[in-house]
Every structure is written in C-alpha cells, then in structure tokens.
Amino acid sequence: MGSSTTSSASTSPAHRPAIPEIPVLGFDVVEFWVGNAKQAAHYYHHAFGFDIVAYQGPETGHRQTSSYMLRQQDICLRFTSALSPDHPVSEHVKAHGDGVKDIGFRIADVQEAYAMATDRGAKGLCAPSTEQDAHGSLTKATIATYGQTTHTFVNRQNYSGAFEPGFTPYQQATPARPTGLVRVDHVVGNLGQGELPQWVDFYETVFGFFVFRDYDETDISTDYSALISKVMANASLTIKMPLNAPAQSKGGKKSQIQEFVDYYGCPGVQHLALITSNIVETVAELRHRNVELMAVPKNYYAHVEERVGAILEPLDRLAELGIIVDLEEGEEPDSEAVQDYMLQIFTLPLQDRPTFFFEIIQRAGATGFGKGNFKALFEAIERDQAKRGNL
C-alpha cells in the first residue's frame, strides 16, 4: 500500500472502535430477490460464466419460492423468486425491482455473532437456527441493515451438500464457461441524503468495523454528480463495504446516488465489485458475450499516462476494451517505474431499473476504489461536451 496523503481516512488503531469486532471470515452468498429467478440464473450463467449448482422449488417440496444458487470460484450468488403475488419476495420486487436482498457473512460462531450484534442494537430478523440433512448441518441467523437489506451470518463448515439443506444439485444443460471472476472485492450501499453517519455508526458500534477510506464531495464531485462515501471494513480487510450518500453537485444536478435511491425506493446495494486476475481477458470475453459495459470517452485515454505513469497492460488494448485505470491514492505517477494501480470497468445496470450493476476490478497493488477514475471520466465527458459547445 502506498503512502496515502490525500484521503482524510485513517487506518491507525486510534481511529478504530474500542469494541471487539464480530469475527467475519468473508463474504458468503449474496442473495437477489428477482421477478424471474429462472431467467436470471440463465443470464448470469451464460453472460458471466457462473455455474448453477443448486436449486430449491416446488419440485423439491418448496411450494412458495424458487431459488437458484450460482457459483464462480469464491463468488456465490443466489436468485430467488416467489410463486404467488402476496409473498414477501413478490412485495419486495414490486417495490424495488430486482435487487440484492441479503449480503451473507461467513462466520465461525453464528450464535455468538448474532448475540453480539443484537446486544449492540442490531435488529434481529431470524434468530440462529440449524438445519440438517444427510450431508450435515448448517447454522444461519439474519439481522437488518440499511433499507430493506439484510446480513445473514452463515457457518457452512459442517455441511457438504450442494448448497444448503432443502436444495438439490442442479443439472445444468451446459457447464459454465467461466470469465475469470474469482471473488467479491467490495459491496457498495447507496444511502439517502443525510443517512451516512447513522450507518457508519451502525457498522462501527455493532460490528466493530472501522472507516478504511473516507471520500468527501471535494474528492468525488463534478458539475453533474456528487457523493460522499465512507468505506467500512473489518481489521483483516476480508469485508469492505463502501457506503455512499448523495451530495449537492456544483451544477445543482441530481446525484447518481439519489437517482438510485429514487428508483430502488429506499437505500440498497448499488454494486458488487468482482475481482479478476486478468481484466483484459475477462472484459474481452464479456464483450464477446454482449454484456453491456459502461462506455468510456476516447479522450479519457489521452490523459491516462500522465495520471498513472507506466503500467503493464498495453494502453491501446485497454482503450479498445474500455478498461479504466487509477493510481493508488497518494502515489505519484512515474513514467518508468510501475506504481501501485488498479484496473476497472462497470457494467450497465443489470435489470431495467437503473439500480444494481457489477464492477470488474483487477488490483495491481492499489487498495483504493477508483476515486481518480470518477473525476477523470466525468472530465472526459465534459471535454467532449465542451467540444460540442454544450458546456
């Protein structure tokens, strides 16, 4: 990690809460509540290369919902739909569209974690319970977080079945063709105006997490969109969760965070950042499969070298694929010695409402979240706009 000087964040022990952290081993399953889980599973299988590993529904004795469990390396996604209009999943989809309902946390002692969380003020939704079948047992508990989103604590150590008791292995017509995605890097929540302090406090006082990075509107602001963001993390950095809230842009335009909250109907998960070890190959494959990716103005690349200095990937290939680059915060670009940097790209929203999307990210040493890219992208758009005489 470089010597970050631009951010007001600190990882020093003095800034960490004095309470013991709830020991979270890492992200577990991310569950989506959607209108049509069957089609969603098919889409994420073919477009992004996830294996459909397990299924639960009427055929397995589950009368109310259908649920598909998808996996690529360490990334586990679950898609659930209800089979009747008055089911909570249907109500949720009606209000919010397709979206993330639950961010799972892998935890060794679910009982202890749930007791710690609820003792510290978290709203408990499902007390710890253990389910068993011939493949072993699995313990889960759920608490509420921002908006309608929840965190489920899971211990899978004593379970060897397809996914969870009640699920059956899914017979895929074709095995997945992976796209090189390996694990979840971070999960981003969008909050309403003025709601950031309360949720920072929640992750500090309930989980014992700390503010890993802190961005104010001077860091992430253009004439068109402004936001403030704090990245909540656990000490081992296996959990990183940026929390965004709208800020007033210089031009008085609506923040993209507010647009999300308006369409989703409440705070919710804006994006999941997925790690690849070779973003050039991953993005080439995603483009080949017609995954819609955010367009990058060509003139963005005219300024990349002066922003980040030398990098290992050929710049013309990055430009061809629309991959963007950011130097580690606080480091100076060097035209010869490669510094810590990161490569990233964003999909367009993955459902009709302009809400949830994926980020694909490759970290070449950098630990940040692409702050420089936000500015560089919008400046490039504004340069194009100025050329057309519209700025």
Binding site for Fe ion (CB under 5 A): 273, 359
In the complex with Fe ion, the residue whose CB is nearer, 103 or 138, is 103
Shortest CB 186 distance to Fe ion, Å: 6
Residue 207 Cα distances to 185, 204, 230, 243, 245, angstroms: 19, 6, 15, 15, 21
Shortest CB 221 distance to Fe ion, Å: 17
- Determine phi and psi for 90, rounding to 5 degrees: -65, -45
* Helix, strand, coil tally for the chain in percent (to 5): 25, 35, 40
Q: Which amino acid is present at 227? A: L
Shortest CB 266 distance to Fe ion, Å: 20
Shortest CB 344 distance to Fe ion, Å: 7
| Cα Dmax for the chain | 69
In the complex with Fe ion, the residue whose CB is nearer, 28 or 185, is 185
Shortest CB 185 distance to Fe ion, Å: 8
- Cβ contacts of residue 102 below 8 Å, gap of 6+? 29, 30, 31, 142, 149, 150, 151, 152
CA pair distance 18, 35, nearest whole angstrom: 43
In the complex with Fe ion, the residue whose CB is nearer, 126 or 348, is 348
CB 65 within 8 A of CB 79: no
- Bridge partners, residue 362, by sequence: 343
Shortest CB 242 distance to Fe ion, Å: 6
Shortest CB 191 distance to Fe ion, Å: 15
In the complex with Fe ion, the residue whose CB is nearer, 67 or 244, is 244
Beta-sheet pairing, 181-190 with 240-246? parallel
Q: Is residue 10 helix, strand or coil?
A: coil
In the complex with Fe ion, the residue whose CB is nearer, 329 or 359, is 359
Shortest CB 361 distance to Fe ion, Å: 7
Burial class for 14, CB neighbours closer than 10 Å (0-12, 13-18, 19+): exposed
In the complex with Fe ion, the residue whose CB is nearer, 140 or 371, is 371
CA pair distance 76, 78, nearest whole angstrom: 7
Shortest CB 360 distance to Fe ion, Å: 10
In the complex with Fe ion, the residue whose CB is nearer, 200 or 243, is 243
Six-digit token string for 49: 């290369």
15-19 LR contacts (CB < 8 Å, sep 24+): 15/210, 15/211, 16/208, 16/210, 16/235, 17/204, 17/205, 17/208, 17/209, 17/210, 19/120, 19/205, 19/208
In the complex with Fe ion, the residue whose CB is nearer, 176 or 241, is 241
Strands, E assignment, 220-267 = 227-233, 240-246
In the complex with Fe ion, the residue whose CB is nearer, 273 or 318, is 273
Q: Which amino acid is present at 267? A: P
In the complex with Fe ion, the residue whose CB is nearer, 22 or 342, is 342
CA pair distance 126, 114, nearest whole angstrom: 9
Shortest CB 271 distance to Fe ion, Å: 6
